[in-house]
Amino acid sequence: MQDAALLSYIDQRFLSLEKRLEKCNQDVLEYVEEFRDFSKTVLSRLAGLSTAKAEVKSEVENLLSRIDHAQRDIDYFGSVTDSNACIEVHEDLVKQQLLEEAEEKKRLKLMLNASCDHVLAGIRSLKVVKKTGGKHGSWMKDPGKKHTKIYLLSGSVNNMILEFANIMTFMENNHTLKARTIPLPLPWEGTGHVIYQGFLFYHRYGSLNEIIKYNIQRRNVADQMLLPGAGRIPAYQLSPQTKIDLAVDEQGLWALHAEPETGGNIVITKINHVTMAVEHSWDTPCSSKDAEAAFMACNTLHVVYNFPSGGTSRIQCIYDVLDALNTYMNPGLHFPKRQGSHSTVHYNPKEKQLFAWGDGSQIIYKLHTEQKV
């Protein structure tokens, strides 16, 4: 009984499996048929895409042909009008440049308050005020103040100023006993310092191109600045101790130096003495070779030349920053009577004369000027 029941159960299971296998086989056949239909559809659509691709390719080729044709037309018309267009553009650029130059010149004249109407025509006479100190040094008055004080800065490296009440006190034999000594916290280098509006402006010793603004009354450093491009070579070949030469004229504070990039020619820089900012710079044709000093007077650079062994100093290059076309190499405005050399020649715009230091002597040169033409 038990064996018969087991066989009956196994038969039923086999029948169930056969039915399931048959159904699976039927499903596979249906899937195959569906896949065949799908493949036919895909192939049909791909054939349509190929036709469309060919049509698009044909349209693109046609468009490229039209573009090429149009480009040839453009090139033709461009070749016909190009020369005239270039001339017009060139003329426009020239006009623009001339306008900009005129505006710049106008701005500079306003900035410099161009009221100078005279030019240097000669050096009339000299007066050796005193002989004190070594070969290098400078002495000066403050053209921006009403007092008559004299300042003596001896040597090319030092940190001590001597202040005298007036020129008579300075000329006395025991002048150093009557001088007020002003020590500087930072020493100077060279002999290119100036005193203006109560401040000493000088090149700081040990720096490449730092300019110090020192308040003489309060005895402190009020400000400082760096002068771009300066300090690498001497301002004047015959005065190698001076890399930066500061100057004062009717328009205020200037700096003079030479640069390798200019072939050793002198560069002029206008400095705002209040803010210690550079206002403008000019490259000049005046060479530093065989130059011993220079000064600014009425917006104009005057370069003093000499011989390496010393001789008669002469002004041979003059450069007006407001009218560079009038720059010229002068045949020579000679300094009178004296043989030797100068380590400093500075212009005093208040007294219209030069304060110079020559071989240990403190000298004043009176100037002869003429009206500008």
Q: What is the pLDDT of residues 191-202, one digit of tens each?
A: 999 999 999 999
Spans of the chain, pLDDT less than 70:
1-7, 9-11, 14, 28, 31-32, 35, 39, 42, 46-90, 94, 100-102, 104-115, 324-331, 373
- State residue 53's pLDDT score: 65
Name the burial class of residue 279, with classes exposed (0-12), middle (13-18) and buried (19+) by CB atoms within 10 angstroms of its CB. Answer: middle
Rounded distance between C-alpha atoms, residue 158 and residue 313, angstroms = 27
Rounded distance between C-alpha atoms, residue 108 and residue 105, angstroms = 5
Rounded distance between C-alpha atoms, residue 13 and residue 24, angstroms = 17
Let me know if domain 118-371 sits in CATH 2.120.10.
Answer: yes
The half-sphere exposure of 306 on its side-chain side, counting CA atoms within 13 A, is 24
How confident is the prediction for the chain on average, in pLDDT? Answer: 84
For residue 256, the surrounding DSSP H or E stretch is strand 252-258
Quick check: pTM over 0.75? Answer: no
**266: Cα separation from own chain's centroid:** 15
User: For residue 340, what are the CA distances in angstroms to 17, 48, 292?
Assistant: 132, 105, 11
Structure tokens at 16: 């169930």
